[in-house]
Structure 1
Amino acid sequence: MLALHHTHAHPVSARLSRFGAASVLTAAAVAAPALIPGALSSAQAASLATHALDVAASKQGAPYQWGATGPYRFDCSGLTQYSFKRAGKKLPRTAAAQYNSTRHIAASSRRIGDLVFFHAGSSASSVYHVGIYAGSGRIWHAPRTGATVRLERIWTSSVWYGRVR
């Protein structure tokens, strides 16, 4: 898209011949997600998730408080909501609603920054806890009353994964 910043005025056809149709089509494909509200390229989604993870990690030691959404106290879904909001993406308030708003993925497809949902049954309404995947089987989360935001190993196999879109 360098031609758009060129000092000489060239008609569009000159731009096409200069950069080649393939380059223009490639540029359009890369730019298209920015034109569709709510759509993210995989690179943008990864950057968003990494930024959210960094925000959550920066809250290490913040006390748990039921219903708290930050910036100094959090419950589990308050931490994830706060972290993704700072990264530029709005999430619903509760863990179950966050589960319903993500793209569900297999454990084998999980990536750093994906959400990890703990559940006690087979339906979305059984989701009772959420954290942000940090890699190596660990999450950043606000665990419970009397605890603080921390990095911890996933302690059960009763989890589902979701990717914020």
Structure 2
Amino acid sequence: MATTSRSKRTVRNAIAAGLISVGAVALPAAPAMAAPVTIPGIGTFDVPDHLAIPTNFDVPVFELPQVPNLPQINTGSADPQFIAAPFSRGNQVADIALSKVGSPYVWGATGPNAFDCSGLVQWAHGQAGISVPRTSQAQVGSGTPVAYNNLQRGDVVAFYSGASHVGIYIGNGQVVHALNSSQPVRVDSIGMMPFHSARRYA
């Protein structure tokens, strides 16, 4: 009986400590108001109220931060008709000259409302911030020489013997130029006049 009493006291002490070890299994103390705990071969024990294990825990709830709406990215192919031509000084010169289509030809005029051939070339380049000589012969005597098959928009194209006439290449085999007093500034095929040479300033 002494052994049994000591065992009971030992178990009571273990329960009072909040843990009962049975073999390799750790058993937590029973919650308050629970049925008595019976250990086979040892006895039945009541767990004191002050050792009750709480069943409800107040765990703080953290809210995730709001994710802002991200812009939708369209990875589809662009429509070629909406792709702008790359910017260059040559393109700028060509577009400026084209803006004067329909303006009257006046010999010696340098714009902005009337032009002769070299006056249009000089004015269009000047609007793009590029300095170009005044006469057609001086214009083909400066700048960078360009072969016929390497023409780019904005290049100065000279025609006839002695480079007596000049225009601005606008691409697709065309030039914008002020031809003579009977014609306003216009666009024509580069092949309508005998080619002399070409120069690039832009």
Q: TM-score range by the shorter chain?
A: 0.5 to 0.7
Question: TM-score normalized by structure 2?
Answer: 0.55
Residue 91 of structure 1 corresponds to which residue in structure 2?
132
Check conservation: 1:119, 1:160, Cα contact below 8 A.
Answer: no
Contact 2:160 2:193 in 1 (8 A): no
User: 1:64 — aligned with what?
Assistant: 105
Q: Is residue 148 from structure 1 mapped to residue 184 from structure 2 by the alignment?
A: yes
Q: Is the 8 A contact 1:64 1:149 kept in 2?
A: yes
| Structure-2 separation of matches of 1:152 and 1:104 | 22
Letter in 1 for 2:186: R
Contact kept, 8 Å, 2:160 with 2:194, in 1: the verdict is no
Specify the code of the residue in structure 2 equivalent to 1:128: S
The answer as to whether partners of 1:62 and 1:74 remain within 8 angstroms in 2 is yes
Q: Within 2, Cα distance between the matches of 1:149 and 1:97?
A: 21
Question: In the TM superposition, what is the alpha-carbon distance from 1:113 to its structure 2 partner?
Answer: 1.1
**Residue aligning to 1:47:** 88
Contact 1:106 1:161 in 2 (8 A): yes
Which has more helix, going by share of residues? Answer: 1
What's 1:115 paired with? 156
Does structure 2 conserve the Cα–Cα contact (< 8 Å) formed by 1:81 and 1:90?
Answer: yes
Distance 2:143 2:196 in 1: 14
TM-score by length of 1: 0.66
Partner in structure 1 of residue 5 of structure 2: none
Partner residue in 1 for 2:175: 139
Higher relative contact order (CA 8 A, sep 6+): 1
List runs of 5+ in structure 2 lacking aligned partners: 1-86
Give aligned-pair identity as a percent. 41
Residue 156 (structure 1) shift? 3.1
Q: Deviations over 1:108-154 (max 9, x none)?
A: 1111111111131xxxxx11011010112110100101210111112
Q: How far apart, in 2, do the equivalents of 1:48 and 1:135 lie?
A: 14
CA RMSD, Structure 1 to Structure 2 (Å)? 1.3
- 1:103–1:162 Cα contact (<8 Å) kept: yes
Which of the pair has more CA radius of gyration? 2
SS in 2 for 1:85: helix
